Amino acid sequence: MIDYKLTFETYTKNLLGGRILGLKCNKCSNYIHPPRMICPKCYSTDLNIIEFNGTGEINTFTVVRVAPTWMEDIAPLIIAHIKLDEGGFILGHLSDIEADAASLDLIGKKVKMIGGREVKKDIISGVNGAIPIFQLL
């Protein structure tokens, strides 16, 4: 059996340390994020864990005003779908924008991850996780 290379546990620990981990395919050089078992382009399982540089471009965004029950106290949440410079996408919070100032002009803007915010004991799964936090460059 081939070992699952980059687990959620390892990914989350690193996110809390300010690092976005992903995978690089040794066969076709494709960068993979979020982590998966196999290269989605060439189907190779010969993958290496690498640290992404943490920068990307906002593909789209929203301001979540009605939040899930465990996040109601920190709403509104400005969440972006970010295309990472190496490849692949990530969801993260934008920390340096006011909710009412978020406009379509944000799309295409460059951002950098500044750290991870810990989420403790999710109400359904009981699992800990982390939210990547980004700022505009």
Binding site for another protein (CB under 8 A): 8, 11, 33-34, 36, 40, 59-72, 74-75, 77, 79, 81, 88-93, 99, 102-104, 107-108, 119, 122-125, 127, 129-132
Nearer to another protein, 112 or 128 (CB): 128
Nearer to another protein, 47 or 131 (CB): 131
- Of the candidates 101, 82, 98, the one whose C-alpha atom is nearest the C-alpha of residue 20 is 82
Task: Note the helical H segments in 52-97.
Answer: none
End-to-end CA distance of the chain: 43
CB of 61 to another protein, least distance (A): 6
CA 114 to chain centre: 12
The Cα–Cα gap between 44 and 27 comes to 7
Query: Looking at the chain, how many residues does it have?
Result: 137
CB of 122 to another protein, least distance (A): 7
CB of 137 to another protein, least distance (A): 19
